[in-house]
């Protein structure tokens, strides 16, 4: 939830642009919204969402100190090419 936790996740989990991020807004462990990671810098993850058009919204905007808000990141490592 904190900026240091976000920095730690970036440093230790090889999160990349294009990975999926799911939001759980009510803390029940079931994601309520899907986003795509659109930008990463040293201490922040940004996401793109369609409900309210956002191209580079910081993850801190969603977490915003609300105890029930959680983000789950799915790291995509393999590439599949279909032609």
Confidence at residue 83, expressed as pLDDT on a 0 to 100 scale: 79
The pLDDT, as a whole number, for residue 72 is: 93
State the Cα–Cα distance between residues 48 and 56, nearest whole angstrom. 6
Mean pLDDT of 2-25: 86
Stated pTM of the model: 0.80
Q: Which of 58, 56, 54, 44 is nearest to 15 (CA)?
A: 44
In terms of Cβ atoms closer than 10 Å to its own Cβ (0-12, 13-18, 19+), residue 51 is: exposed
C-alpha torsion angle, residues 58, 73, 42, 57 (rounded to 10): -10
What's the pLDDT at 22? Answer: 95
Question: Measured between alpha carbons, how far is 45 from 59 in angstroms, rounded to an integer?
Answer: 6
- pLDDT band at 3; cut points 50, 70, 90: low
pLDDT, tens digit, for every residue of 17-64?
999 999 999 989 999 999 999 999 988 999 998 877 677 889 988 888
- DSSP tag of 81: -
């Amino acid at each position: 939830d904190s900026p240091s936790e976000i920095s730690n996740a970036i440093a230790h989990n090889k999160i990349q642009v294009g990975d999926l991020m799911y939001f759980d807004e009510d803390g029940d462990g079931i994601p309520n919204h899907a986003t795509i990671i659109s930008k990463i810098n040293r201490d922040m993850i940004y996401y793109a969402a369609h409900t309210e058009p956002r191209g580079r919204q910081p993850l801190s905007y969603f977490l915003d100190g609300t105890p029930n808000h959680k983000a789950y990141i799915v790291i995509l490592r393999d590439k599949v090419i279909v032609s």
